[in-house]
């Protein structure tokens, strides 16, 4: 399937309806980050669930890999205007992370925290009901460091900046707290179908 660079207008209807307004398709997988990819060894890797500053549960790499694994094949949409269809990810559903911690979402908002000091906010409902994954594998291989390995958040129905790479943990917050890009003018929610790119969109 040759889709590279095509905009909605140039695509057959079946594909066009999967491409949000202002987006074009790519076949490659662009790498975007605020800095160089951090090198995180799985030996020292931990994943922590928190309620504000209070720790709820922490997993080592081995413990996290022992949680139920789910595969999601989803289209992804970057705010810089590329979209990529049928990307295949494998990892732990946020639902299963909460179940393993023995908690239900204690607040309505989550801040995803990363090892490169990146952060991004997502409403808790957008992470639940099978919608979001902490991905450990992409396309059948361990997640490449450039794409956020060892583990990244995948929230495919929102712009891809919400899918925090090099994920360190998820923090439930009382209020919707802006993350790295949201503090710099990006939309608090980021729905690609409503073109919520910037805070006043
Ligand atoms: N930790 C971290 N996560 C991040 C970023 C980042 O700079 N640091 N950039 C975001 C942005 S703006 C995008 S578009 C995607 C890019 O993911 P990719 O490099 O796998 O395409 O990661 C998002 N997650
Ligand atoms: Mo982005």
CA-closest candidate to residue 108, choices 173, 171, 51, 58? 173
CA-closest candidate to residue 160, choices 74, 49, 93? 74
**CB within 6 Å of ligand 1 — which residues?**
30-34, 78, 114, 116, 118, 147-148, 160-161, 163-166
The DSSP line for 81-121 is SEEEEEEEEEEEEHHHHHHHHT---SSSEEEEEETTS-EEE
Q: How many CB atoms lie within 10 A of CB 41?
A: 8
Q: Which DSSP helix (H) or strand (E) runs through 16?
A: helix 13-16
Q: How many CB atoms lie within 10 A of CB 76?
A: 21
Kindly report the pTM of this predicted structure.
Answer: 0.96
Q: What is the pLDDT of residues 92-123, one digit of tens each?
A: 999 999 999 999 999 999 999 999 999 999 99
Supply the residue whose CA is at minimum distance from atom 22 of ligand 1: 161
Could you tell me the domains of the chain? Answer: 42-194 (3.90.420.10)
Residues with CB under 5 A from ligand 2 (ion): 32, 78-79, 161
Q: What is the pLDDT of residues 65-87, one digit of tens each?
A: 999 999 999 999 999 999 999 99
Q: Order across the sheet with 119-123: list the strands.
A: 54-60, 46-51, 167-173, 109-114, 119-123
Supply the residue whose CA is at minimum distance from atom 21 of ligand 1: 31
Which atom of ligand 1 has the smallest separation from the CA of 30?
21
Ligand 2 centroid, distance to 37 Cα (angstroms): 15
Q: Which DSSP helix (H) or strand (E) runs through 61?
A: helix 61-65
Q: Which DSSP helix (H) or strand (E) runs through 14?
A: helix 13-16
> Quick one: pLDDT at residue 178?
98
Tokens of 124: 């808790």
Q: What is the pLDDT of residues 137-158, one digit of tens each?
A: 999 999 999 999 999 999 999 9
């Amino acid at each position: 399937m040759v889709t590279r660079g095509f905009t909605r207008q140039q695509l057959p209807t079946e594909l066009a309806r999967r491409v949000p307004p202002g987006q074009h398709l790519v076949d490659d997988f662009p790498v975007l980050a605020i800095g160089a990819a951090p090198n995180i060894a799985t030996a020292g890797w931990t994943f922590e669930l928190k309620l504000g500053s209070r720790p709820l549960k922490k997993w080592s790499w081995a413990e996290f890999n022992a949680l139920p694994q789910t595969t999601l094949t989803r289209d992804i949409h970057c705010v810089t205007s590329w979209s990529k269809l049928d990307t295949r990810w494998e990892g732990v559903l946020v639902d299963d992370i909460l179940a393993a911690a023995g908690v239900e979402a204690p607040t309505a908002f989550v801040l995803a925290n990363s090892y490169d000091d990146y952060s991004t906010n997502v409403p808790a409902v957008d992470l639940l009901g099978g919608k979001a994954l902490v991905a450990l594998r992409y396309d059948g291989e361990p997640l490449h460091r450039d794409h956020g390995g060892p583990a990244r958040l995948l929230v495919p129905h929102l712009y891809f900046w919400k899918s925090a790479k090099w994920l360190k943990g998820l923090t439930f917050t009382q209020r919707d707290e802006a993350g790295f890009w949201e503090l710099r003018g990006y939309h608090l929610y980021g729905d690609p179908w409503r073109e919520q790119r910037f805070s006043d969109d």
